[in-house]
């Protein structure tokens, strides 16, 4: 045990020590004015979500690894080191180090990247930053590719060692204290890729804690397509199931994935693995839990999280599905949405489009499941019907589809059995163009009611609606597939010639 303990320390110290050696003269550069302004705003204004610097640096590293993987396949460039992200924390020195074996940066990119990002997006970016709420700030970072700037939220000094994968490239050390200038010098012993060493600020020491950083990686970057090591231990071990080919995913894999993302112990009773390229690129896995435990007290949070290119954008995203579908758990990943879209931007056309496509697809999924196994669907409805009815009362856009998912008891079925509205209509009398119902707290009262007597005598079926919410459902629905919904004890019913 002592041996392994010493080995673990060994890997941590060697990885976090700067084995690189600056060899050339340090050239000092002033940050461009808009870059300085940007650093000021970024460094001092994003208190709400400091932790996202981890996500941003991992995303940059993943992009660099993706670029190298592409180069290796096309230009046959081989660097010999495995494509991975290594994060090491030094609790004594309070440093956070992230290293990727990706494509790395040339001297020009090193000098350009920081400035260009600032100058290219700067006008728009600075305006947005200054007048947007802080909520959108942490999201704008990724949008302008300025993820690197987020290191200024947590670092006193930042050192970047980088060497481009292009053959014959030199290694460099870029360094700054974020005050207004940075230095660049040639360095030896720099591995291909990029290594960023952050000396953490007083108020950001928590990012030198392995437990803290482990949970941040699991929260945002758990599905990044390259292994991420934290102090030598691989962190992201759960596969992004939604990106796999549908036919290759087993029920067991779905069960494991469901339990992981829903933080649940039961199994999914329904599973949807949905991918499409039009009108948007969408890859998603959605689940209906076996049982729902929404205690009357607190309202269940939405169960679906929004990803873009396997990076978490919004946990339990409110704008992705309508609130009445909050019992559905899972992941929706769309490459088309702007990276790190913020809540405020959720209304923008791409996202409302995504919401529209996903909602229709979920409704179709549930209807297909009902058609596949009516009995199982009725059990689902006994447990989740309250959500469907909430949708029937509130969602005007999908009224028709939701109507198909409703189930009620009926005078034509024995106690405990339920019918859909389509089922009722399929049993209607010749010439009957209405769907009749009786609002009553219990079946017994319905059976004893004089109205039921009359309807039965005339061979016209009656839906029995026991829930108080049913009245609102009927008032909102008003009709289904051309049939008006008419109360049996209403003057309209009494006047109807059929009876
Ligand atoms: N990991 C990684 N790999 C690559 Cl190839 C690039 C390219 N740009 N960036 C962002 C960035 C920009 C300027 C400075 Br200084 C540091 C920095 F991380 C990258 N990060």
3-state DSSP assignment of residue 46: coil
DSSP H or E run through 40 = helix 33-45
* Interval 318-344 mean pLDDT: 81
Counting from 1 in the atom list of ligand 1, the atom nearest the Cα of 182 is: 15
Specify the pLDDT at position 18: 67
Q: Alpha carbon 470 to chain centroid distance? A: 33
Residue appearing with tokens 């945002």: 220
Q: Are 53 and 158 in contact (CB under 8 A)?
A: no
Residue 64, ligand 1, Cβ within 6 A: yes
Distance from C-alpha of 46 to C-alpha of 39, rounded to nearest angstrom: 11
Residue 175, ligand 1, Cβ within 6 A: no
Is residue 424's pLDDT more than 70? yes
Is residue 317's pLDDT more than 80? yes
Is residue 417's pLDDT more than 70? yes
Specify the pLDDT at position 144: 44
Is residue 268's pLDDT more than 60? yes
Å from CA of 148 to ligand 1 middle = 7
* Reported confidence tier of residue 242, pLDDT bands at 50, 70, 90: very high
pLDDT digits (tens, 9 = 90+) for 131-163: 654 444 444 455 445 678 889 889 999 999 999
Please list, in sequence order, all residues whose beta carbon lies within 8 angstroms of the beta carbon of residue 41, skipping any fewer than 6 positions away: 126, 129, 130
| 2-6, 69-73, 273-277, 447-451: least confident range | 2-6
Is residue 468's pLDDT more than 80? yes
Distance from C-alpha of 274 to C-alpha of 359, rounded to nearest angstrom: 12
Å from CA of 193 to ligand 1 middle = 9
Distance from C-alpha of 64 to C-alpha of 145, rounded to nearest angstrom: 13
pLDDT digits (tens, 9 = 90+) for 295-316: 666 778 889 999 988 988 888 9
pLDDT digits (tens, 9 = 90+) for 25-43: 999 988 888 778 777 777 6
Distance from C-alpha of 51 to C-alpha of 49, rounded to nearest angstrom: 5
Complex ipTM more than 0.95, yes or no: yes
Residue ranges of alpha helices (H) inside 339-373 are 349-372
Distance from C-alpha of 476 to C-alpha of 394, rounded to nearest angstrom: 8
Q: Are 404 and 424 in contact (CB under 8 A)?
A: no
Residue appearing with tokens 């940007």: 38
Our mutation pick for probing the ligand 1 site, out of 79, 83, 112, 113, counting the most ligand atoms within 8 A of Cβ, is 113
Strand order in the sheet with 434-439: 409-410, 463-465, 434-439, 483-487, 479-480
**Strands, E, within 91-141: which ranges?**
95-100
pLDDT digits (tens, 9 = 90+) for 341-395: 454 444 467 788 899 999 999 999 999 999 999 999 999 999 999 999 999 999 9
Å from CA of 60 to ligand 1 middle = 7
| Residue nearest to ligand 1 atom 18, measured at CA | 148
Residue 113, ligand 1, Cβ within 6 A: yes
**165 closest CA partner among 69, 79, 99:** 79
- Phi and psi (nearest 5°) for 183? -120, 150
pLDDT digits (tens, 9 = 90+) for 214-229: 999 999 999 999 999 9
Question: How many CB atoms lie under 10 A from the CB of residue 461?
Answer: 21
- Phi and psi (nearest 5°) for 490? -105, 155
Q: Return the ∠ at Cα 209 (arms to 205 and 212), rounded to 5°.
A: 105
Specify the pLDDT at position 297: 63
Q: What is the mean pLDDT of the chain?
A: 87
Distance between the two ends of the chain, CA-based, in angstroms? 86
Specify the pLDDT at position 278: 86
Residue 56, ligand 1, Cβ within 6 A: no
* Interval 191-202 mean pLDDT: 96
How is residue 223 written in tokens?
Answer: 């599905």
Q: Are 235 and 228 in contact (CB under 8 A)?
A: yes
Angle separating helix axes 107-131 and 134-143, nearest 10 degrees: 150
Q: Are 233 and 86 in contact (CB under 8 A)?
A: no
Q: Return the ∠ at Cα 159 (arms to 155 and 164), rounded to 5°.
A: 135
Distance from C-alpha of 367 to C-alpha of 430, rounded to nearest angstrom: 27
* Reported confidence tier of residue 418, pLDDT bands at 50, 70, 90: very high
Specify the pLDDT at position 118: 52
């Amino acid at each position: 045990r002592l041996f392994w303990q010493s080995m673990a320390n060994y890997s941590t110290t060697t990885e976090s020590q700067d084995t690189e050696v600056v060899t050339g003269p340090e050239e000092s550069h002033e940050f461009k004015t808009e870059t300085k302004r940007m650093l000021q705003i970024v460094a001092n204004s994003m208190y709400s979500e400091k932790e996202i610097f981890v996500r941003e640096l991992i995303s940059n590293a993943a992009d660099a690894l993706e670029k190298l993987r592409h180069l290796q396949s096309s230009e046959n460039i081989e660097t010999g080191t495995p494509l991975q992200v290594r994060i090491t924390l030094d609790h004594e020195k309070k440093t956070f180090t992230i290293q990727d074996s990706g494509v790395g940066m040339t001297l020009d990119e090193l000098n350009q990247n920081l400035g260009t990002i600032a100058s290219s997006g700067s006008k728009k970016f600075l305006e947005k930053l200054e007048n947007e709420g802080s909520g959108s700030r942490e999201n704008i970072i990724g949008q302008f590719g300025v993820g690197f700037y987020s290191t200024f939220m947590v670092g006193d000094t930042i050192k970047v060692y980088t060497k481009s994968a292009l053959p014959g490239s030199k290694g460099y050390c870029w360094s700054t204290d974020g005050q207004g200038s940075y230095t660049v010098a040639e360095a030896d012993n720099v591995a291909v890729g990029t290594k960023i060493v952050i000396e953490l600020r007083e108020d950001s020491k928590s990012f030198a804690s392995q437990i803290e950083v482990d949970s941040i990686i699991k929260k945002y970057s758990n599905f990044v397509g390259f292994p991420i090591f934290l102090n030598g231990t691989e962190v992201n071990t759960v596969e992004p199931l939604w990106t796999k080919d549908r036919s290759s995913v087993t029920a067991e894999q779905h069960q494991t994935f469901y339990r992981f993302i829903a933080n649940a112990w039961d199994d999914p009773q329904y599973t949807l693995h949905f991918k499409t390229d039009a009108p948007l690129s969408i890859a998603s896995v959605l689940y209906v839990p076996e049982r729902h435990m929404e205690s009357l007290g607190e309202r269940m949070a939405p169960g679906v999280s929004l990803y873009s290119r396997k990076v978490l954008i919004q946990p339990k995203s409110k704008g992705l599905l309508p609130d009445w579908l909050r019992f559905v758990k899972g992941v929706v990943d769309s490459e088309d949405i702007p990276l790190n879209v913020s809540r405020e931007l959720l209304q923008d056309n791409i996202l409302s489009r995504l919401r529209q496509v996903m909602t229709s697809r979920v409704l179709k999924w549930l209807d297909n499941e009902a058609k596949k196994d009516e009995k199982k669907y009725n059990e689902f409805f006994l447990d989740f019907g309250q959500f469907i009815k909430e949708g029937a009362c509130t969602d005007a856009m999908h009224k028709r589809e939701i109507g198909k998912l409703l189930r009620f008891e009926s005078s034509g079925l024995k106690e405990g059995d339920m019918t859909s509205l389509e089922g009722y209509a399929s049993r209607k009398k010749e010439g009957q163009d209405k769907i009749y119902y009786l609002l009553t707290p219990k079946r017994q009262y319905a059976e004893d009611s004089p109205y039921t007597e009359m309807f039965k005598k005339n061979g016209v079926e009656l839906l029995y609606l026991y829930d108080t919410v049913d009245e609102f459902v009927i008032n909102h629905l008003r009709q289904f597939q051309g049939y008006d919904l008419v109360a049996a004890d209403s003057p309209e019913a009494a006047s109807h010639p059929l009876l």
